[in-house]
Chains A and B, each alone.
Chain A
Amino acid sequence: GNSVTQMEGPVTLSEEAFLTINCTYTATGYPSLFWYVQYPGEGLQLLLKATKADDKGSNKGFEATYRKETTSFHLEKGSVQVSDSAVYFCALSDQTGANNLFFGTGTRLTVIP
């Protein structure tokens, strides 16, 4: 079956620190992989995505590389800001006609000045 496991939070970092949030997946076939971000009081927004092995998704200084050999899609940012404080969700798409997404449980990031 399809599932996503992501690092449990909460994660607290100082401003300008390096961020990694781990995400691994189990899937049949060749899923697309996503990171969504949820700012306080808001819905989820697509942060970045990758659709095939070795693709790198990037946006707003965040990056994640689709690693088929390790079934991983870890989120990284070289220097976090206070404004990056949010909940981050890893997800995969099962590539069927229904286009279902399977979400991880979310990781809360707090960046302190």
Chain B
Amino acid sequence: DVKVTQSSRYLVKRTGEKVFLECVQDMDHENMFWYRQDPGLGLRLIYFSYDVKMKEKGDIPEGYSVSREKKERFSLILESASTNQTSMYLCASSSQGKANYGYTFGSGTRLTVV
């Protein structure tokens, strides 16, 4: 069964900590995405990547960075966590040139920053 795996379902971190959220997909997808989801705001795109070692800013990149050293892994980094980064984080992947397949999502990581 193909899947996108996010390393943690729940995380609690302290303000100022450096936080890594990991995402791995086993579908050989070129594209990977990080979203955050907050009540009333829907899905907001943070960063995405179309290939290894490349990245593009989404709609809300401030306070985040990403790393894609291998095709299957896309990491989201909170350089210095703040309470306004408490949220549900969703990773997704997709295949280039296969628009009809949509995205495959991970189960999400609920991050709380205290």
With known contacts A43-B105, A43-B107, A98-B31, A49–B42 Cβ distance under 8 A: no
What residues on A are CB-neighbors of B42 within 8 Å? 89, 103-106
Q: In the complex, A101→B98 CA distance in Å?
A: 12
The bracket for how many chain A residues form the interface is 20 to 34
Number of interface residues of B (CB under 8 A): 25
With known contacts A103-B42, A106-B42, A49–B102 Cβ distance under 8 A: yes
What residues on B are CB-neighbors of A41 within 8 Å? 108, 110
Q: Is the CB of A32 within 8 A of B102?
A: yes
Q: Is the CB of B99 within 8 A of A94?
A: yes
**A79: shortest Cβ distance to chain B, in Å?**
26
Q: Is the CB of B98 within 8 A of A99?
A: yes
Partner pick for A99 among B43, B99, B107, CB 8 A cutoff: B99
Pick out which of these stretches binds chain A: B12-20, B61-69, B72-80, B89-97.
B89-97
A-B contact count (CB 8 A): 61
**B112: shortest Cβ distance to chain A, in Å?**
14
What residues on A are CB-neighbors of B84 within 8 Å? none
With known contacts A32-B102, A91-B102, A43–B94 Cβ distance under 8 A: no
What residues on B are CB-neighbors of A32 within 8 Å? 99-100, 102
Partner pick for B90 among A43, A91, A106, CB 8 A cutoff: A43
Q: Is the CB of B99 within 8 A of A95?
A: yes
- Could you list 27 examples of A-B contacts with CB < 8 Å? A32-B99, A41-B108, A41-B110, A42-B107, A42-B108, A43-B6, A43-B90, A43-B105, A43-B106, A43-B108, A44-B103, A46-B102, A91-B102, A93-B100, A94-B99, A95-B99, A97-B97, A99-B94, A99-B95, A99-B97, A99-B98, A99-B99, A101-B102, A101-B103, A105-B41, A105-B42, A106-B42
Chain B residues engaging chain A, CB cutoff 8 angstroms? 4, 6, 31, 41-43, 50, 90, 92, 94-108, 110
Given contacts A41-B108, A46-B102, 17 further A-B contacts (CB under 8 A): A36-B102, A41-B110, A43-B90, A43-B106, A46-B103, A51-B100, A89-B43, A93-B100, A95-B99, A98-B31, A99-B95, A99-B97, A99-B99, A99-B101, A101-B94, A103-B42, A106-B43
